[in-house]
Amino acid sequence: MQTRKLKNWLLAITLGLFSLNFSPVFAQQMLIQVVGGGYRFDGPTQITFTPVTAGFTQTDSEVSIRTITSGGYTTAPIEGEDGFISINDQNGGTEFQVQIQAATELTHTVTGTYTIPLTNFLVKNITTQVNDAYDVQAINGRSDGLTLNSSYNTYTDLSGARVLATGTGQEPGTWKFYPGFKIQVPATTAIGTYETTLTFTII
């Protein structure tokens, strides 16, 4: 008789422990808010064209961002990687456009008197693949998150603001693209260095 009582007691304790381990003793609601971090650009801070010789006919000089791999990048291209312009959308949820605009006509850096008009300063979206890099390279996010404006697959002057690409904004992401530039130096242009400032903007 005494043995049976001991077994019953052990059984009751075992069931109690089992019930305790799987009972929701404490619950807490957990929340996290994800906020947008804005937009970021990366790229070189200077675009230098190959010098041209002054003459009695127009002379052109071209440069692609792909060839500029140092100077001003927040995250510089790794060895063997092309130069780039990158857009980082840390928000998602809003469509955006990538706009480029020249501040002024190209102006002689010493005298300030001589200029090259912005109708002679041109931009295009490079669509020739180099080093297996696509026209738009998705680093993070959707591969179709940024689309180049096909209107600029050929050179267009920078006499006004130009929208080079459109982002879907469906989710955050980072994309690289590779514009090219050309300056048509008019005949009888005075010798010297000419410059302007290019601004990329998210609108």
Residue 23 has pLDDT above 70, yes or no: no
Show the CA angle centred on residue 200, arms to residues 196 and 202, nearest 5°. Answer: 155
What per-residue confidence (pLDDT) applies to 120?
97
Contact 71/167 with Cβ under 8 angstroms? no
Which residues lie below 8 Å from residue 163, measured CB to CB, with a gap of 6+? 97, 98, 99, 149, 203
pLDDT in tens, 176-202: 999 999 999 999 999 999 999 999 999
Residue 30 located in a structural domain = no
Could you tell me how far CA 97 lies from the centroid of its own chain? 11
pLDDT in tens, 40-52: 999 999 999 999 9
pTM above 0.85, yes or no: no
pLDDT in tens, 48-94: 999 999 999 999 999 999 999 999 999 999 999 999 999 999 988 88
Residue 21 located in a structural domain = no
Residue 6 located in a structural domain = no
Distance CA 162, CA 151 (A): 10
Long-range pairs, 156-161, Cβ under 8 A, ≥24? 156/122, 156/123, 156/124, 157/118, 157/119, 157/120, 157/121, 157/122, 158/100, 158/101, 158/102, 158/118, 158/121, 158/122, 158/123, 158/198, 159/117, 159/118, 159/119, 160/101, 161/99, 161/100, 161/101
Structural domain including 86 reads 39-202
What per-residue confidence (pLDDT) applies to 119?
98
Residue 195 located in a structural domain = yes
- Give the residue from 190, 168, 199 showing the smallest Cα distance to 101: 199
What per-residue confidence (pLDDT) applies to 66?
92
Residue 29 located in a structural domain = no
- Give the residue from 77, 79, 97 showing the smallest Cα distance to 163: 97
Q: Give the count of domains, the chain.
A: 1
Residue 84 located in a structural domain = yes
